Structure 1
Amino acid sequence: MNQSILFPDMQEWNAELKAVTFPAQQSGALIECIVSVDELMKLSGMTINSEQEALAVFASVRFDLEELAEELIEDEAFNQFGQIEVMS
């Protein structure tokens, strides 16, 4: 794991995006990472019907999501808003 990218133990539900957002820090810069409900269901094989379920599933696959986000950050695969959209 690249120690220059850190993932604080924080996440929140974004109802507008229907996604969980979580931060990453690289060289002091804060990067917003986003994972959609559809992607969470794909990664986990579970059905998500609520915010609470989305956050619980996120917690269960967090390590995998952080690895995917780290690769995308290293590849500088930012979207038009400067965010990382985590996809497997």
Structure 2
Amino acid sequence: MNQSVIFADAISIDGKKQLLKLVAHQQGMRIECVLSFARLQQLCKTPVNVDNAASLLEGVRFEVEELAETLIEEDAFDEWGRIEI
């Protein structure tokens, strides 16, 4: 695991867009990472909604952070400068 990418513990949930937002930091740069409810459901094999999204993320957080870290290292940023997991 590359320790140059650090993830904050806090997440935010956008119920309208059905997204979770995580923040990573790499060499002083703040990177927003987004994870759709659909992708989270694929990872945890459980239906996701606003009420359970945060707790389901915690169950697969290590895997999500590994995926995000790989995408960051590959410079796979979207047009808004975010990483879409």
TM-score by length of 1: 0.92
1:53 maps to which residue?
A: 52
CA distance in 2, matches of 1:52, 1:15: 9
CA distance in 2, matches of 1:74, 1:17: 26
Off by >6 Å, runs of 4+ in structure 1: none
Q: How many residue pairs get matched?
A: 85
CA distance in 2, matches of 1:14, 1:26: 24
Q: Give the fraction of aligned pairs with identical amino acids, expressed as a percent.
A: 38
Structure 1 segment 34-49 matched on structure 2, within 5 A: 34-48=34-48
CA distance in 1, matches of 2:59, 2:75: 26
TM-score by length of 2: 0.95
Determine which structure has the larger strand proportion and give its number: 2
Instruction: Write the letter of the residue equivalent to 2:26.
Output: Q
Structure 2: where are the runs of 5+ without partners? none
1:17 maps to which residue?
A: 17
Deviation at 1:14, TM superposition (A): 1.3
| Aligned Cα root-mean-square deviation (Å) | 0.8
Q: What SS class does the counterpart of residue 24 from structure 2 fall into?
A: strand
Deviation at 1:10, TM superposition (A): 1.0
